[in-house]
Structure 1
């Protein structure tokens, strides 16, 4: 048990550090090669910050732990909105231009609905995973075409690249070394996180999906949390919001899609009964915040954080234990 806790902590610490190192190196390499900063934002940064979720999901699915794989995606999307957006706005109230995120926020809601529709089948097979990857490619191509023509969200994407430009003036050896070490670190961190989480779940008698929805999801969301917090402190609130919206889209289309393309994903019953609906509710909840045209203040942010604390507590108390009697009374 002690070893599992050490593995879990090591994975949680290693993943965000390795992910940040990898993305910084990849951004520097892309800029050295003359790649458009906008394209870098839509591909290198987006994929790089979502890489921990991808590696963890593949590791969990291939090792026979679908609860951790699916729970990681669903829990990460919930954490992105309630925890990351909440934490960023507590530090500095967030204001963004509604038009800039109207398209992406609507795509996020549609993507969430698509995932729920597929999940209700109980299994996401390979062909559906490949379809999701195809939709991801269309999303990236369309985003680049639209924003290269001067759309409102382009500035936010370019500002997001600036958060990872620390290595752009360093020697080639440092840049390549950062990419290699970052990749190794992400893979190692994901392995440690999954191994530790599985052992702890079994030792505590907690389901793997609960561990995936909470501990693992929080660990893989740390790169996005770091980006959002730094962006908020620098006054780049659009980056914090865009990071959350983009990450939720990528988590479904890229992470679920790629994992299902490798091995069909079984959807655990608890996630079907409760957590995918919680994810949908949270996704819809952030839309008024994005499109109201006013700031997300510290009071609303604190409310988001309280909701996340309540959601996490509910997982360990037991969703069925809480809602079972309620459903019985309603019946």
Structure 2
């Protein structure tokens, strides 16, 4: 058991490092090729930062553990709201009035509702994925249209702060190679180990996906948000979480069902989907009424997450 836990942790570490390397390589390659930083932030960075979740979901389906894929996406969205926003709010108060996230928040709610409806029409198969990819294309198209219209924010995301348009091609190739090799390796280690841990503890793959795997694949977002809070820029966390949740639902689960059918457990329909919707709705007053997220809110969010995980593992 200790060996499986160690391998799962190793897989998570490789995923995080490989994902970061892939983003660095892809961003700098795009900038070297003359693509604008704004378009890079809306496309390359979004794809790169979600690469660990995507690879984990595909590997889970191919490895005959589809419950891990489903739990990973829903669990990541729950962790993003309660933990990735909760911890930065404890460190430094989040001020939603700094940036307008209302439109993207509505996109997130719509994506969540479409996902829930499709889950009740499950198992997820290729045509479910096609619908989700169509939603993703509409949202991405709207983002790019507003970017070229000059409506996008001037500040670039954290991932572009260390971009170097003059980075030599050999270094770009090294980052891309590390990312492309490390991501499938880390995903394979994580899925195999998580499956064995689930069997050893007698819990379902879905529960392991909702907890261990989801938390692990949310580590990049958590690390980014905590660092932003320490730098007194915690307000960017809300937009990052909303964007990540949209991507998880409509892109990752738009692609994963093409590699195999993903069944939806009845308990999942009765409980976990509604927790995901509830955590999405809990953001409504902060997005539309610009309520500040102080330490009390952060502590409440983290406590809710701990309670949710405890309930799953009881």
Same fold (TM over 0.5): yes
Q: Deviations 1:293-317 (Å, cap 9, x if unpaired)? A: 2421111011111111111111101
Corresponding residue of 1:117 = 117
Corresponding residue of 1:201 = 198
Corresponding residue of 1:292 = 289
Residue 233 in 1 paired to residue 234 in 2?
Answer: no
Gaps of 5+ in 1: 318-331
Per the TM alignment, residue 112 of structure 1 is displaced from its structure 2 partner at its CA by: 0.3
Tell me how far apart the structure 2 counterparts of residues 11 and 270 of structure 1 sit (CA, whole Å): 28
- Secondary structure class of the residue paired with 2:96: coil
Q: Deviations 1:101-157 (Å, cap 9, x if unpaired)? A: 110001101100000000012312201202211221221111111133232x5235x
Matching residue within 276, 299, 311 for 1:314: 311
Mapping 1:221-300, distance limit 5 Å: 221-300=218-297
Corresponding residue of 1:91 = 91
Whether the 8 Å CA contact 2:19–2:49 is kept in 1: the answer is yes
Q: 1:289 to 1:137 in 2, by over 3 A?
A: same
Tell me how far apart the structure 2 counterparts of residues 141 and 100 of structure 1 sit (CA, whole Å): 19
TM-score by length of 1: 0.90
Gaps of 5+ in 2: none
Q: Deviations 1:148-193 (Å, cap 9, x if unpaired)? A: 3232x5235x23443452x544322111110110121111111111
Corresponding residue of 2:171 = 174
Whether the 8 Å CA contact 2:7–2:189 is kept in 1: the answer is yes
TM-score by length of 2: 0.95
Whether the 8 Å CA contact 1:66–1:268 is kept in 2: the answer is no
Per the TM alignment, residue 90 of structure 1 is displaced from its structure 2 partner at its CA by: 1.6
Per the TM alignment, residue 292 of structure 1 is displaced from its structure 2 partner at its CA by: 2.2
- Secondary structure class of the residue paired with 2:101: helix
Tell me how far apart the structure 1 counterparts of residues 66 and 11 of structure 2 sit (CA, whole Å): 19
Q: Deviations 1:199-245 (Å, cap 9, x if unpaired)? A: 01101111111100000001111111122222232333343111100
- Secondary structure class of the residue paired with 2:157: helix
Structure 1 moving runs of 4+ over 6 Å: none
Residue 305 in 1 paired to residue 294 in 2?
Answer: no
Whether the 8 Å CA contact 1:9–1:193 is kept in 2: the answer is yes
Corresponding residue of 1:155 = 154
- Secondary structure class of the residue paired with 2:94: coil
Corresponding residue of 2:35 = 35
Task: Please identify, of 262-271 and 50-59, the stretch whose mean Cα deviation from structure 2 is larger.
Answer: 262-271
Task: Please identify, of 13-22 and 233-242, the stretch whose mean Cα deviation from structure 2 is larger.
Answer: 233-242
Q: 1:50 to 1:293 in 2, by over 3 A?
A: same
Whether the 8 Å CA contact 1:98–1:290 is kept in 2: the answer is no
Whether the 8 Å CA contact 1:96–1:237 is kept in 2: the answer is no
Task: Please identify, of 125-134 and 66-75, the stretch whose mean Cα deviation from structure 2 is larger.
Answer: 125-134
Per the TM alignment, residue 77 of structure 1 is displaced from its structure 2 partner at its CA by: 0.3
Task: Please identify, of 69-78 and 267-276, the stretch whose mean Cα deviation from structure 2 is larger.
Answer: 267-276
Superposed CA RMSD in Å reads 1.6
